Amino acid sequence: MPNKFAGFFKDVKVEMTKVSWPTRNELTGSTSVVIIAVILLAILIGLWDFVLSSLVNVLIR
């Protein structure tokens, strides 16, 4: 059993050397895009919620 764990972690170490890690600039750019997309989506969902709740309130009254 311990040999299986040791072999697994050895394989993980080998695979981690094959990973193509992003540069700092790529990481910063991708993070910025994600943050902006999340903010815009949150605004869109908030506006849609406001419009629909206002419509429901008009229909109820």
Residue 53's pLDDT is 98
For residue 41, the tally of other CB atoms under 10 A from its CB is 10
Residue 52's pLDDT is 98
Kindly state the helix (H) or strand (E) to which residue 13 belongs, with its residue range: helix 2-18
- Residue type for position 2: P
Q: Which residues contact 30 (CB under 8 A, 6 or more apart)?
A: 22
Residue 1's pLDDT is 73
Domain boundaries, the chain: 25-61
Residue 11's pLDDT is 94
Cα-based angle 36, 42, 24 (whole degrees, multiple of 5) = 25
Residue 59's pLDDT is 95
In terms of pTM, does the model score above 0.85?
Answer: no
**How high is the mean pLDDT in each 10-residue block of the chain (61 residues)?**
86 94 97 99 99 97 88
Q: Which residues contact 22 (CB under 8 A, 6 or more apart)?
A: 30
Residue 14's pLDDT is 95
